Chains A and B, each alone.
Chain A
C-alpha cells in the first residue's frame, strides 16, 4: 500500500513539475506575477512529493517487502540494516529516484530562499529546474519505475552485490549526486539568463553559493569513489581513468572553471557569456556521465547493470537539456559579450588562463573517453585509450595550471602587477628550486614527470605560503591578529582549497614513487619483509559475518626493533545470499603511509598468496580532496569581499584596483 502511495506521489510530482516547468515561463514573459508565483509553490510541492515517494521506497527496503520487484532483486532479509537502506540506491531505479529527490530538494530550497532576487529571474530559474525534473521523472516513471510489484512474491531477495555492501559506497552516490545535481542550479541560472539575455554581477553573486555547494559535494563524492576503489577493488590503485571515473571528473573540471569565472562576473562584470557557457557545460557533462554509466556503451569497473534502452531515454533528455540551451547560447550568447577592460597580466588574465586550461583538460578527458567509441563508429577499429594516454596529455595541462595557481591570486584586478607579486614569485621559484635540487641531489633516479610534480609542489606550496605571510605579517599599524581578522572568508577558502591541492599532490607523488609491493605464497609462520616492516603470517581463521563467511589471514606487523604495532586481517568472503566471493583488503592507514594487505587464493598445504603493500602518504590524496572541499565551504559562506557595489573604474580607479585579496 505504501509503495502504491509512493508511486502515486511520483506521478503527482511529474504533473506538478511539468506545471513548474511551463507556467512560470509564460508568467515571466507576460510579467504576470500571479503565474510566476506558481513556480516556488510547485517546486516545494514537487520536493515534498518526491521525498514521500523516496521514503516509500526506502520503507520497502527496510521492511524487506519482496513483493516489490526492485527489493526482491536487490535486497535480502539477512542484510545489515544500513545496507538495506543503502541498497535503495544500489541499483538503477533507486539511484535514479535519489537523483530526482536531490534535484527536487535543490528546487525546493531555491523556492524557499532567493527572496532578494527579481521575481521573473527566480521564476525562470525554477522553471528550468522544473523542466529538468520533469524529464527525469518521465525517465523514472516510463522506463525505470521502482514501484513495480511482482505477481508471485519470492521467499527472500536476491541480495545486493557484495562489493556494494560497503559503508563508503553507501554514502558515495548521495554525495556524488549532490554534486552532479547541484550543477543543475547553475545550469538553470544560465538558461534563465539566456532567456532574458541579461547577465549582471548580482546574477553571479546569487549563483555562486550553488556552484560552491555543488563543487564541494562533487569533490567529496569523487574522493569517496576513489577511496572505495582503493580499498575495495583490492589492488591498491585509486584512479584508473575508467569511463565512469572520467564521467565524474569532467563535470568537476568544468565546475572548477565555472566557480573561478563566476568570480570575474561577480567582481568585475566580465566574462559573462563564457560563464554562462561553463554553467551549461558543467551540468551537461553530468548528464553525459549519467549517459555513460546507464547506457553501458562504455565498459567500466564501476557501473551497475546497464541497459542500452535506458540509454535512449537519457540521450533524449540530453538532446533537449543540452541541445536547446546550447542553441540558445549560439543565438543569445553574443549579446552578453562585454568590452574587456583589463590586460592579460591581471587577475582576470590569470583566471582566464585557469579557465582555458581547465576546459582544455576537460576536453582531453572527453576526447579520451569517447574516442574509442567514435573511431569504432567511423572505421570499425577497436582501440583502447588507457592511463598512459591521460598521463601524457592531461597531466602536463594540470601542471601548467599549477604554475598559474601560485601567481594568479596575487595579481591585481584589471591590470599589471602588485607589490605582492614579486615576493610570491621569488618564494615560489625558490620553493620549486629547492625541492627539485634536494630531490636530484639524493639521486633517486626519478623520471622527469615525478621531478616536475615535486617541483610544482614546492612552487605552489611556497607561493601560497608567501601570499599568506604577505597578508598576515604584522606591520606598523596593524597587528597580526587585526590583519588576520580582516581577511575575508573567500580568500581564506581559496588558500585552503589551493593548499588541499598541494596535499593531494604530495599523496599522489608519494604513493607513485615510494610504493612498495610484495607478492608471496606464504605458509603459517613465514615472515615477509615489506618496506622496513617484518610481517609474520601466523595463519588463517574462519570468521562469521552477519551475512557472509570469511577466511581471514592473521598478519602481525612488527617494526625494525621487533615491536608488534599492528595486526592486519585481510579476508576472503563468501556472501551467503549472493554466493559471491570478494576479497577484503586490510588497511592500516596512517599519515605516514598505509599498510595494505590482501589475501589471495591457496590452502594450508601449498600456502596462501599474500599481497602486501606499503603506500607512503597515500591517504593524503583523499585528505587533500577533503581540504579542497573545506576550502570551498569556507569560501561559499561567511564574510565575503564587498563587491556588490559596482565600482566604476572611470570615476574611481583606485577602488577598482585596490582589492588586493585573492579569490582565484
Chain B
C-alpha cells in the first residue's frame, strides 16, 4: 500500500507539473483560479464572424483544462486555439472544415460533441434504446396484468362510478 500511495503521489505531482507547464505559469495558483477567458483583442471586428467563432469555441474542449471549452478557459492553449479558430474563419474556412482540421490534430478528445462513429455508436443510440426498453417493460408488465383488469367492472358500472365521482367532485370538492 505504501508504494502505491507513493506512486500516485508522484503521478499527481507530475500531473500538476504538466497542467502548470501547459498553462505556462509556474505557480500552483493557476489550477484553481477561475478563468477569465476571451479578451477584447482576440475578437473579430465582423460581428457575424465573431459569432461563428464564439459558437465554434464553445464546441471545442480546452485539452489541458478540467472540462472547459476553449471559450471559457484562460489557459494558453485555449487562447492559441481561439486564435487559430478566428484566423481560419477570417481566411474563409467553413465551420465544419475548422472542426475537422482540429480533430485531425488533436483527436476526438477536442470535440465536446462526440462525433457519431463506431466508438460512439452505443453512446448515441443508447438513449433511444433506454426509452424503447422502458416502454417495452411497461407494456410487458401490463400484458401480465391484463387478466386482473378484464374481470372487473363492465361499462355500465364504470359509467355509474364516473357519474358518482363527478357528482362527488362537484358537491364536496376535493376529498381530504
Contacts and interface: CB of A to CB of B under 8 A. Distances in A.
Asked if chains A and B are in direct contact (CB within 8 A), the reply is yes
Interface of A: 161-163, 232-235, 237, 240, 242-243, 299-301, 305, 307-309, 339-344, 352-353, 356-357, 359-360, 363-364, 367-368, 371, 375, 379, 381-389, 393-394, 397, 412, 415-416, 418-420, 471, 475-478, 482-483, 486-488, 491, 519-521, 578-583, 598, 600-601, 609, 611, 639, 641-642, 653-654, 657-661
A161 B157 CA distance: 69
Given A341-B148, A388-B112, A233 B134 contact: no
B20 interface: no
Interface in B124-142: 124, 126-127, 130-131, 134-135, 137-138, 141-142
B97 interface: no
A580 B29 contact: yes
Contacts of B145: 339-341
Contacts of B96: none
A654 B160 CA distance: 10
15 contacts: A233-B34, A235-B72, A301-B67, A301-B68, A340-B142, A363-B130, A364-B127, A383-B114, A384-B61, A384-B111, A386-B111, A389-B112, A477-B172, A609-B36, A660-B169
A488 B35 contact: no
A416 B162 contact: yes
Pick the most buried of B32, B67, B157: most chain A CB atoms within 10 A of its CB: B67
B-side binding surface: helix, strand, loop or mixed? helix
A384 B110 contact: yes
Interface string B20-61: 000000010100111111111101000000000000000101
A93 to B, nearest CB: 15
Contacts, number: 218
A486 B148 CA distance: 34
Contacts of B120: 371, 375, 383
Contacts of A359: 134
Contacts of B137: 356
Given A243-B67, A382-B108, A654 B165 contact: yes
Contact of B38 (A363, A420, A488, A519): A519
Contact of B33 (A360, A383, A581, A598): A581
Nearest to A642: B176
B173 A478 contact: yes
A341 B150 CA distance: 9
B158 A658 contact: no
Contacts of B38: 519, 611
Nearest to A489: B176
A352 B175 contact: no
A423 B148 CA distance: 31
A419 B68 CA distance: 51
Contact of B134 (A356, A491, A521, A583): A356
Contacts of A385: 114, 123
Contact of B175 (A308, A340, A658): A658
B113 A388 contact: yes
Q: Which 3 A-B pairs have the closest CB atoms?
A: A386-B112, A388-B113, A340-B145
Contact of A487 (B34, B152, B174): B174
Nearest to A661: B174
